Structure 1
């Protein structure tokens, strides 16, 4: 099955005016006489929000070198750890993954240089549709949001067809190498997660988004995590997220084998992956609202 791999680079800007702020955020922060954050960029807690505090329980850690080990005992332990992390946490940290440190630093630096480009150069990549192969902008979906996220983003499809902005210099070269290395890691993780569900090593290889897609395929057994972050007060934060999913025409649905084995009814409707991405990217950034819309 063909696969897609969208990459999202975001720069979360400081909550105090700074020369590092870009796009709409940059223009806002550099406005003469600005002393407070406007209400359009100020989030307030509501009754549904939860304040997340530090926990003594550590974030699950998956040693990738053990996952690809030739030792059956080591691989079995890691697959057990993957099952627990996906079922109870919805995320995990990967160590010993083999992606070079210098490559990760180069990719972060290249993204920072992109966000620092003059506004007229970045406007070439604004895009008109959520599935455009190259698209940059501010917040998440300004067409439906009343309060905007304090961030700028660059979204690219890097597989099966590789897309990249032509500026800055070496961005494309770094991105090509980085995306290939990360895809290799992701595919091996998918094999382990597939085994942890009792579906066989290659069942979901090249078939799913690693976040909300797994919750659908596992019929809710494996969780989708809500992403939350606190913006620094002094320095911008660069984040790189690379989703791995099937071809845009593939239908995403709970695995029939799991439903038959566990005697459960489907918890989510069938939907083409491309339509799911459109729904996800066209909605407001509101927890798991996209999953709620496809839940039966």
Structure 2
């Protein structure tokens, strides 16, 4: 069914944020600027791996060995896993969701201060858009706030409690990510400390992102975030209990169902590059519904901003060649955030398959 125009088109011009548009009493259809026909049908699966972090940290030798194998399989086969018993207090997970929601409830003039002027802005807020293959701009049915929180900490001034909560959330998630990466390095057969040194993880990059997906009158005619992969090494995601994240596995789409107080983790682009393709950065998307607001909080964990990320040398030696080109981490992130490539991901541009094809598509790096 084709999308119809809203009752009052002026709503689109007046409102910089989707939240205000969605709360309009006259809205009964998706405005044309948001029209993104999609089939959001997905299967339910109980096969998404569950990793018990406590057993990685302090389990017996046999139990730890099993969890290491499970972690390796999760990174190879799914690119996603549910992390339980991670040690981050439930109260902190609840607090970061609540503080993020308070941000979205601020007056528009407060949020508009952080409208992005460039991809390198350390704090960004807005609704966002994508360029489709027909070179058309499509607005997304979500509002967001993003800020760089490590190695330099940035945070919106309001709400006031967000800063303290975000500082603690960044520290706790960074510690868990470092431990997971140590275990992943062990699974890859790398010497202890190799990943830390090469990727400069003492100065690792962290990006906080909170997403607000209000109810949509026509969920099949809009999209929260279209299918994509993430920059970085590991992405952590928590939410307010409203479903909406779908992942692609072997060509099929699956709904995610992470238990309360768990963290959904996905292996991202730079882990695929660093592992020389052993671990995959998997496509995923955020769909919307017409009943409840969804809040998700993401912490993207990456290499140091100035680190040059390329396949690990020991893995290249085992494989006989590198399958990805090197690139400075922060340049990759900012290029990705700028929507510079239309319909082609950064990761595709760094894959070494056919030199002629690679130069044709990605020579502008």
TM-score by length of 2: 0.69
In structure 2, stretches of 5+ residues that fail to align are: 1-14, 205-231, 235-267, 353-365
Matched, 1:87 2:53: no
* 1:43 aligned partner: 36
Partner of 1:3: none
How many residue pairs match? The answer is 270
SS at match of 2:137: coil
Deviations 1:120-174 (A, max 9, x none): 0111122312121111111255797621221111111111111111111211011
Distance (whole Å) between structure 1 residues aligned to residue 98 and residue 40 of structure 2: 34
Is 1:66 matched with 2:55?
A: yes
2:210 aligned with 1:217: no
1:282 aligns with 2:338: yes
The answer to whether the Cα contact below 8 Å between 1:251 and 1:273 also exists between their aligned partners in 2 is yes
Q: Which residue, 33, 36, 44 being the options, matches 1:54?
A: 44
1:139 aligns with 2:128: yes
Higher relative contact order (CA 8 A, sep 6+): 1
Of 98-107 and 276-285, the range deviating more from structure 2: 276-285
Determine the structure 2 residue equivalent to 1:167.
158
* TM-fit CA distance, 1:42: 2.3
Partner of 1:232: 289
Out of 249, 252, 264, the position equivalent to 2:309 is: 252
State yes or no: 1:201 paired with 2:258: no
- In structure 1, distance between residues paired with 2:117 and 2:24: 27
Unaligned ranges ≥5, structure 1: 1-21
Task: Name the SS of the counterpart of 2:43 in structure 1.
Answer: coil
- 1:155 equivalent to 2:146? Answer yes
**Counterparts of 1:294 and 1:288 in 2: how far apart (Å)?**
11
Q: How far is the alpha carbon of 1:32 from its aligned partner?
A: 6.3
CA contact (8 A) 1:23 1:152 kept: no
Cα RMSD (Å) of the superposition? 2.4
Shift of 1:31: 5.0
Matches within 5 A, 1:118-133: 118-133=107-122
From the two aligned structures, give the one with the greater strand fraction.
2
Q: Secondary structure at the match of 1:132?
A: coil
2:328 aligned with 1:272:
yes
- Tell me how far 1:282 sits from its aligned partner: 1.7
Say if 1:294 and 1:76 are closer, same or farther in 2 by CA, change over 3 A. same
In the alignment, the residues of structure 1 paired with residue 109 and residue 118 of structure 2 have an alpha-carbon distance, to the nearest angstrom, of 19
Deviating runs (4+, > 6 A) in structure 1? 284-288
Tell me what 1:292 maps to: 348
Could you say what secondary structure the match of 1:43 adopts?
coil
Asked if residue 77 in structure 1 is aligned to residue 66 in structure 2, the reply is yes
Q: Tell me the distance in 2 between the aligned counterparts of 1:226 and 1:30.
A: 31
Asked if structure 2 preserves the Cα contact closer than 8 Å seen for 1:249 and 1:273, the reply is yes
